[in-house]
Amino acid sequence: MPKKLLEVKNLKIHFKIGKGQYVKAVDDVSFDIYQGETFGLVGESGCGKSTTGRAVIGLYKPTAGEVLFDGQDVHRVSGRERQRLTGRIQMIFQDPYASLNPRMDVAEIIGEGLVLNGLASGRERLERVYELLEMVGLQKEHASRFPHEFSGGQRQRIGIARALAVNPEFIIADEPISALDVSVQAQVVNLLKRLQQERKLTYLFIAHDLAMVKHMSDRIGVMYLGNLVELAASKELYREPKHPYTQALLSAIPLPDPDLEQSRERIILEGEVPSPINPPSGCVFRTRCPKAMEICAAQKPTWREVAPGHYTACHLYE
């Protein structure tokens, strides 16, 4: 059994927006990520998945709960320990253009982390940048160019090279392919998979739809309105989704077989996602759930294991 590299325990992140008013961006979320796996975190925009990712890297402080990386509380370490820890966790962003400094050339962008972490400087730094460029499918010649001279896919490769520069063990990829053309998405996914094998990386892969994480993830967690509603091994989740929200998300993915595609039932969710300032009582999904019952408004469903390694929070399984 691989070891638990990341433990997210009862994480709550509430942002104060006025007197007594809070946005409950993440509301009691728990999951573990094992060394060497890819854990996909999926949900519509505003469900709290990116906030969760940012809390893991220490950018947001939890209102309650904790994030342990290799047994260490990410939010309680300081000084050298903190620096060591942040070197082990890196992030890749959705919009590589916005996350790359337009005034720095690629050598400076990728080499910055090497210098800051005292890993290489001068000629050695440049040699390392060349190696990293090659590792992500770019060339030595690209080192002296600026971000605007690259395509979206190439910029994402630069972002990946920058993340790899400090030899991380864990990478949070926050919608890394959402802004790319479909043809380029597969290339970036394949690159991330190859790097994972070569460098024994562990990934938290955040995406807004289940189709994107399908080929990447070992296990998947589904979030809705700040809550984790289902978690299972990837194949199991696609074969037998338990939560009505996951079932609706999966029914929206087109099937490659035209006959199956024509005959299957598509679940259309009515209404909008409610505000996280004033989430519904009981089950947060109840205002859009086609299977909602009386109890769903009165009681929050408990998180339980409904099959080995398959968890959900829904009154249908209580």
Measured between alpha carbons, how far is 85 from 70 in angstroms, rounded to an integer?
Answer: 9
The whole-angstrom distance between residue 156's C-alpha and the CA centroid of its chain comes to 16
44 near ligand SF4, judged by CB under 6 A: no
In angstroms, give the least distance from the CB of 9 to ligand SF4: 23
224 near ligand SF4, judged by CB under 6 A: no
292 near ligand SF4, judged by CB under 6 A: yes
Pick the closer one to ligand SF4 by CB: 167 or 281. 281
Q: Which of residues 226-245 bind ligand SF4 (CB under 6 A)?
A: 243-244
Pick the closer one to ligand SF4 by CB: 283 or 306. 283
Cβ-count burial of 28 within 10 angstroms (0-12 exposed, 13-18 middle, 19+ buried)?
middle
- Residue 160 sits at φ, ψ, to 5 deg, of -70, -45
Directed axis angle between helix 106-116 and helix 152-164, to 10°?
20
296 near ligand SF4, judged by CB under 6 A: yes
Q: List the one residue from 93, 150, 205, 285 that touches ligand SF4 (CB under 6 A).
A: 285
In angstroms, give the least distance from the CB of 271 to ligand SF4: 13
CB 247 within 8 A of CB 312: no
In angstroms, give the least distance from the CB of 302 to ligand SF4: 10
291 near ligand SF4, judged by CB under 6 A: yes
Strands (E), the chain: 4-18, 21-34, 38-42, 64-69, 72-73, 89-92, 170-174, 202-207, 219-224, 227-233, 303-307, 310-313
248 near ligand SF4, judged by CB under 6 A: no
In angstroms, give the least distance from the CB of 47 to ligand SF4: 14
For residue 89, list its beta bridge partners.
170
The one-letter code for the residue type at 60 is Y
User: Which residue in 191, 193, 95, 100 sits closest to 137, CA to CA?
Assistant: 191
Q: List the one residue from 89, 249, 289, 306 that touches ligand SF4 (CB under 6 A).
A: 289
311 near ligand SF4, judged by CB under 6 A: no
The stretch among 51-59, 119-127, 215-223, 291-299 that binds ligand SF4 (CB under 6 A) is: 291-299
Q: List the one residue from 39, 283, 310, 311 that touches ligand SF4 (CB under 6 A).
A: 283
Using DSSP, state whether 260 is helix, strand or coil: helix
286 near ligand SF4, judged by CB under 6 A: yes
CB 8 within 8 A of CB 67: yes
CB 218 within 8 A of CB 190: no
The stretch among 12-20, 171-179, 268-276, 293-301 that binds ligand SF4 (CB under 6 A) is: 293-301
Residues in contact with ligand SF4 by the rule CB under 6 A: 243-244, 283, 285-286, 289, 291-293, 296, 301, 314-316
